[in-house]
Chains A and B, each alone.
Chain A
């Protein structure tokens, strides 16, 4: 099967990743030598999800939640201790090298490029690695070179590239064989705003034009808001949420916050449907439990109001409250 056939064979909606009850335990040895005790800890426990062709799915979770372990199991470099997983119809741990031809992987903190050689040499190697016909490889490289603006540094040794340039090179290397699934582990880590936006635009375009499925882990919630149709949140090895962004906002009841600027400092406001959770001089933050219009009328009745802002909870607040299992209003004011 040539990558070309794969490309046109893709049916949207067909499952490309199916994980059922996926889990991974690690055995830790602790204590002094000879009196060492072994303890079993679960990094990922009983995770079930399906990713369909053409989706862009964000996989979120705090450090140590089990994101990387899941990614390693999906790509076949870690064998699950429980459950099953199939990626592109293959069992990853058993068919790792076969699966490698179907997927593209970028670990943001690592590189597949040859450090001492010009970027061009690493990219031309993928033609042999994935047996891409020469003409197709040249077309694809020309296209990616244009989209990711690789032209100026194609002949520069990788060790001399900036982080943003190297990341664009790594993305190109992962996509030259037109994989059905692109797995990205923190692809925008350490990048500046311009590089981030170049990469996000590029990923959206690849998804739209080629139907490439993208699974992305990130701590950058800008990536999530800009890219993902759907997010999965993992915490302590368990999926705590799986759905789209509006659903995510609805699931976690992070209250909206009304910021009120009074003419003069006043005692903590307490009205039906809202109460102040933070006071700073004449400014007060009211957590809303009720219709804002009614609250505003109440507040304006008792105080002289100079200004008002209503703040919607952003994704970061929602996700961090999911991680902690609590709702924090301190973060909801966006400060």
Chain B
């Protein structure tokens, strides 16, 4: 455990050394959030209610999404986990020679990165939304607690998915194709491009059950306290996120074991 904490701390420090990148990310996320919010405001001025969402709910979800980009890395079209590149070059050999599990090592480091991204990029982006738009912020303690838990679970799901994309590199030699597809499809499935209530209800409800929704749609609805959450409430929403985190991390551990037994590390 202490090892993982030490790795977490290094992940955090490592990413906080790139201050310019954090500021650039903050500006990009705010500008995209503003554009996205204005488009949705135009939609909602034509129809004030769509499947239980109003204009304020929609802009809130936009800024939850923008805030969580730095946590879940959901919109990247290329590899956003070092592991992917390390598998491609064979550098992963060094990672496998540590007396800790590969997934535990990568997870600790990525949570450090996510913490840094959340504090210095995500939260300021959200505040920009609060200042410029009618964004709902978590003002009550219970709501804030539920939302924070949801953000942590979103970070776990975000990591677990990206870890699985990276592992494809063991079989495909290069996982960049997988990342490109995930980078295109993931944000749509997550409710990042359009909030899922804007889809036909049957499709929206189905997409909420998939792991990608746990990175944007579910956290947004938990913040908004929506009944459209799977199971109808905040607790069942959190339970779904936790379930996906557990299933995906379990799958990651299993595939890692298979990969290291059967697969060849590249490079001499």
User: Which residues of A are interface residues toward B (Cβ below 8 A)?
Assistant: 26, 63-64, 68, 72, 75-79, 93, 96-98, 100-101, 105, 107, 110-112, 114, 116-117, 121, 124-125, 128-130, 157
Bound Cα distance from A107 to B265, whole angstroms: 13
* B10 and A78 within 8 A (CB): no
Q: What chain B residues lie within 8 Å of A101 (beta carbons)?
A: 99
Q: What chain A residues lie within 8 Å of B64 (beta carbons)?
A: none
* A77 and B98 within 8 A (CB): no
Q: What chain A residues lie within 8 Å of B45 (beta carbons)?
A: none
The residue that A78 contacts in the complex, of B5, B7, B94, B264, with Cβ under 8 A, is: B264
Number of A-B pairs, beta carbon distance below 8 Å: 70
Q: What chain B residues lie within 8 Å of A100 (beta carbons)?
A: 97-99
Q: Give B1-16 as 1s and 0s: 1 = Cβ < 8 Å from A's Cβ atoms.
A: 0110111001001100
Contact status of A110 and B99, CB under 8 A, knowing A79-B262, A125-B6, A125-B7: no
Write the chain B residue with the least CB distance to A105.
B97
Write the chain A residue with the least CB distance to B16.
A116
Bound Cα distance from A76 to B102, whole angstroms: 14
* B10 and A114 within 8 A (CB): yes
The residue that B265 contacts in the complex, of A72, A93, A111, with Cβ under 8 A, is: A72
Bound Cα distance from A114 to B97, whole angstroms: 15
* B10 and A117 within 8 A (CB): yes
The residue that A128 contacts in the complex, of B6, B13, B17, B268, with Cβ under 8 A, is: B6
* A107 and B94 within 8 A (CB): yes
Q: What chain A residues lie within 8 Å of B264 (beta carbons)?
A: 26, 78
Contact status of A97 and B262, CB under 8 A, knowing A107-B94, A114-B14, A121-B10: no
Q: Which residues 230-260 of B sit at the A interface, judged by CB distance below 8 A?
A: 260
Bound Cα distance from A72 to B96, whole angstroms: 11
* A97 and B2 within 8 A (CB): no
Write the chain A residue with the least CB distance to B82.
A115
- Measured CB to CB, the closest approach of chain A to B146, in angstroms, equals 33
Bound Cα distance from A116 to B13, whole angstroms: 9
Could you jot down 15 A-B contacts, CB within 8 Å? A76-B97, A77-B96, A78-B264, A78-B265, A96-B97, A105-B94, A107-B93, A114-B10, A114-B14, A117-B10, A117-B13, A117-B17, A121-B13, A129-B98, A129-B100
* A110 and B94 within 8 A (CB): yes
* B99 and A125 within 8 A (CB): no
Bound Cα distance from A79 to B260, whole angstroms: 8
The residue that B99 contacts in the complex, of A97, A117, A157, with Cβ under 8 A, is: A97
Contact status of A97 and B101, CB under 8 A, knowing A114-B10, A125-B7, A128-B6: yes
* A77 and B97 within 8 A (CB): yes
* B261 and A93 within 8 A (CB): yes
Q: What chain A residues lie within 8 Å of B265 (beta carbons)?
A: 72, 77-78
Q: What chain B residues lie within 8 Å of A114 (beta carbons)?
A: 10, 14
Q: What chain B residues lie within 8 Å of A124 (beta carbons)?
A: 6
- Measured CB to CB, the closest approach of chain B to A99, in angstroms, equals 8
- Measured CB to CB, the closest approach of chain A to B22, in angstroms, equals 13
* B99 and A77 within 8 A (CB): no
Contact status of A130 and B99, CB under 8 A, knowing A26-B264, A77-B265, A78-B265: yes
- Measured CB to CB, the closest approach of chain A to B251, in angstroms, equals 20
Cβ of B91 within 8 Å of any chain A Cβ, yes or no, is yes
Write the chain A residue with the least CB distance to B261.
A79
* B97 and A75 within 8 A (CB): yes
Q: Which residues 1-55 of B sit at the A interface, judged by CB distance below 8 A?
A: 2-3, 5-7, 10, 13-14, 17-18
| Most chain B Cβ neighbours within 10 Å, of A105, A121, A129 | A129
Q: What chain A residues lie within 8 Å of B7 (beta carbons)?
A: 125
Write the chain B residue with the least CB distance to A174.
B97
* A77 and B260 within 8 A (CB): yes
